[in-house]
């Protein structure tokens, strides 16, 4: 074994000793005591009563890889505590208390090399993606319920409303399998609750519509005489906006078919196209029916057509395959929403939303995902990129994104949710 391997193994052993100690603390001590321990170890960092534990900290901090890897150590240390507290809702308030430690000043002067080094690494951690993900998690576990239209609150405080963002905003490259499972569970819980709330709201609206159609009956036993319990709109959209969204995402968009019907029909004949080139031409026709011709004729239709022509042109003579379908849909979502975090230009999406409306813009994206469910996570990632670009802005300054996320919530839950909501939007005008 060479010296590098020996040093690396020693650091790994020290990390594990630290993790084991934190796990023991969170299993046996009150949350206040655990947070105090965490502060002594990582924030004040002037020493610790348990000498073997402090030696483990010294070893990890003194490692040659600490500059690169200590953020992962801190992140995992936090999640060891958080994972335990997540299991009990009454302990959720301790999660933001833990995360907030990193923005407090340490107590005591830094005399030793370890203390100086550790404090420097903690300051670096605050600028890391790992810390941003932790802060987003606190917004989910300790949010205040609101259905009020936001004003100056940062967009980031609303992340709890959008389960489609969770996996792309709360997980980082070093997330453990346990963290991934817990985030998926959080997502499913939030998504299911929104499905339930939306279903109850729709039922309430349908009953209100039925009462207005029947009129008030004199028979005291008649159902129309019973007092309806008011169910609040579970979105941040107005009732009229929500009605339009439901009509777009679940209603008959051409007097006969829903978007889901049209997607199935397109796949039936589209995959029989004689070539990939022909398939892309058919795909263009399928998509532009969602675009207002008055807007499309100026430049969008031409840009969309050109984008499809330039997509995998070396495959134009091939038969359509699942691979080609997935890649084509991914590139379409990049084109329509945002390319990547490294290339975050999203002016086309903003222009679309501003000209044809957010409901129709999200309908266009839904049509793509209905063709290829495999790209649903890809669409969610595009929106996570937009969210992370603007999460520090007040929600009132990015209403286009806020409303797009609200519409996306509705589109996904009504077309891919576990309840498979069957909506008859007869009240929509």
DSSP state of 310: T
pTM value is 0.91
Q: What is the pLDDT of residue 100?
A: 97
Please check whether residue 306 lies inside any domain of the structure. yes
286 and 404 together in one domain: yes
Q: Which of 92, 104, 94, 110 is nearest to 39 (CA)?
A: 104
pLDDT tens string, the chain, 429 residues long: the values are 444 344 456 678 999 999 999 999 999 999 999 999 999 999 999 989 999 999 999 999 999 999 999 999 999 999 999 999 999 999 999 999 999 999 999 998 888 999 999 999 999 999 999 999 999 999 999 876 665 666 688 999 999 999 999 999 999 999 999 999 999 999 999 999 999 999 999 989 888 878 877 765 444 445 545 678 899 999 999 999 999 999 999 999 888 999 999 999 999 998 899 999 999 999 999 999 989 998 888 899 999 999 999 999 999 999 999 999 999 999 999 999 999 999 999 999 999 999 999 999 999 999 999 999 999 999 999 999 999 999 999 999 999 999 999 999 999 999 998 866 655 545 554
Q: What is the pLDDT of residue 296?
A: 82
Distance CA 316, CA 422 (A): 39
Q: What is the pLDDT of residue 8?
A: 53
409 and 263 together in one domain: yes
211 and 102 together in one domain: no
**Contact present, 251 and 425 (Cβ < 8 Å):** yes
**Contact present, 235 and 409 (Cβ < 8 Å):** yes
Distance CA 384, CA 162 (A): 10
Which residues are paired to 419 by β-bridges? none
119 and 217 together in one domain: no
Q: What is the pLDDT of residue 336?
A: 98
115 and 190 together in one domain: no
Number of domains in the chain: 2
Which residues are paired to 394 by β-bridges? 154
Distance CA 393, CA 276 (A): 42
Q: What is the CA radius of gyration of the chain?
A: 26
35 and 103 together in one domain: yes
Angle between helical axes of 66-86 and 113-125 (0-180°, round to 10) = 70
Encoding tokens for residue 175?
């997330």
Distance CA 66, CA 125 (A): 11
Please check whether residue 177 lies inside any domain of the structure. no
348 and 401 together in one domain: yes
Q: What is the pLDDT of residue 44?
A: 95
Please check whether residue 154 lies inside any domain of the structure. no
User: Which residue range forms the structural domain that includes residue 390?
Assistant: 185-416
190 and 254 together in one domain: yes
124 and 235 together in one domain: no
23 and 133 together in one domain: yes
210 and 127 together in one domain: no
Distance CA 223, CA 162 (A): 36
Distance CA 227, CA 213 (A): 16
Choosing from 89, 113, 142, the residue where a domain stops is 142
On the 0-12 / 13-18 / 19+ scale of CB atoms within 10 A, 224 is middle
Please check whether residue 178 lies inside any domain of the structure. no
Please check whether residue 170 lies inside any domain of the structure. no
**Contact present, 402 and 155 (Cβ < 8 Å):** yes
Please check whether residue 158 lies inside any domain of the structure. no
Q: What is the pLDDT of residue 221?
A: 47
Please check whether residue 40 lies inside any domain of the structure. yes
Encoding tokens for residue 11?
């650091």
Which residues contact residue 293 at a Cβ distance below 8 angstroms, ignoring those fewer than 6 apart? none
Q: What is the pLDDT of residue 146?
A: 61
Distance CA 248, CA 408 (A): 12
342 and 410 together in one domain: yes
CA–CA–CA angle 133, 137, 141 (5° rounding): 175
Distance CA 200, CA 204 (A): 6
Please check whether residue 351 lies inside any domain of the structure. yes
Which residues contact residue 5 at a Cβ distance below 8 angstroms, ignoring those fewer than 6 apart? none
Which residues contact residue 134 at a Cβ distance below 8 angstroms, ignoring those fewer than 6 apart? 75, 78, 82, 99
Angle between helical axes of 347-356 and 358-371 (0-180°, round to 10) = 120
Distance CA 19, CA 47 (A): 17
On the 0-12 / 13-18 / 19+ scale of CB atoms within 10 A, 292 is middle
């Amino acid at each position: 074994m060479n010296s590098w391997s020996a040093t690396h193994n020693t650091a790994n052993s020290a990390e594990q000793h630290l993790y084991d100690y934190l796990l023991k603390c969170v299993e046996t001590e009150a949350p206040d005591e655990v947070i105090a321990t965490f502060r002594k170890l990582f924030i004040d960092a002037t020493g610790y009563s348990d000498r073997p534990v402090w030696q483990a900290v010294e070893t990890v901090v003194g490692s040659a890889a600490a500059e690169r890897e200590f953020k992962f150590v801190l992140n995992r240390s936090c999640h060891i505590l958080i994972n335990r507290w997540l299991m009990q809702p009454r302990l959720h308030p301790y999660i933001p208390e833990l995360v907030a430690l990193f923005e407090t000043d340490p107590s005591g002067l830094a005399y030793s090399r370890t203390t100086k080094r550790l404090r420097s690494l903690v300051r670096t951690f605050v600028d890391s993606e790992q810390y941003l993900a932790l802060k987003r998690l606190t917004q989910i576990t300790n949010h205040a319920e609101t259905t009020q239209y936001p004003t100056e609150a940062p967009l980031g405080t609303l992340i709890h409303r959008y389960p489609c963002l969770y996996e792309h905003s709360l997980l980082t490259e070093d997330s453990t399998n346990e963290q991934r499972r817990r985030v998926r569970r959080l997502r499913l819980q939030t998504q299911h609750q929104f499905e339930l709330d939306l279903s109850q709201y729709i039922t309430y609206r349908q009953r209100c519509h039925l009462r207005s159609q029947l009129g008030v009956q004199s028979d005291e036993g008649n159902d129309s005489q019973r007092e309806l319990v008011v169910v609040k709109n579970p979105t941040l959209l107005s009732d009229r906006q929500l009605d339009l969204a439901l009509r777009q995402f679940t209603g008959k968009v051409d007097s006969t078919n829903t978007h889901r019907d049209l997607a199935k029909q397109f796949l039936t004949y589209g995959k029989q196209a004689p070539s990939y080139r022909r398939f892309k031409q058919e795909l263009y026709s399928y998509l532009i029916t969602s675009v207002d011709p008055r807007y499309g004729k100026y430049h969008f239709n031409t840009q969309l057509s050109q984008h499809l022509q330039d997509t995998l042109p070396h495959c134009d003579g091939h038969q359509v395959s699942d691979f080609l379908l997935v890649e084509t849909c991914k590139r379409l979502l990049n084109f329509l929403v945002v390319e990547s975090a490294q290339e975050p230009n999203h002016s086309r999406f903003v222009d679309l939303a501003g000209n044809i409306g957010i409901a129709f813009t999200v309908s266009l994206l839904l049509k793509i995902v209905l063709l290829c469910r495999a790209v649903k996570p890809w669409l969610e990632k595009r929106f996570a990129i937009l969210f992370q670009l603007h999460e520090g802005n007040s929600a009132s300054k990015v209403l286009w994104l806020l409303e797009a996320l609200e519409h996306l919530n509705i589109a996904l839950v009504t077309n891919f949710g576990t309840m498979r909501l069957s909506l008859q939007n007869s009240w929509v005008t």
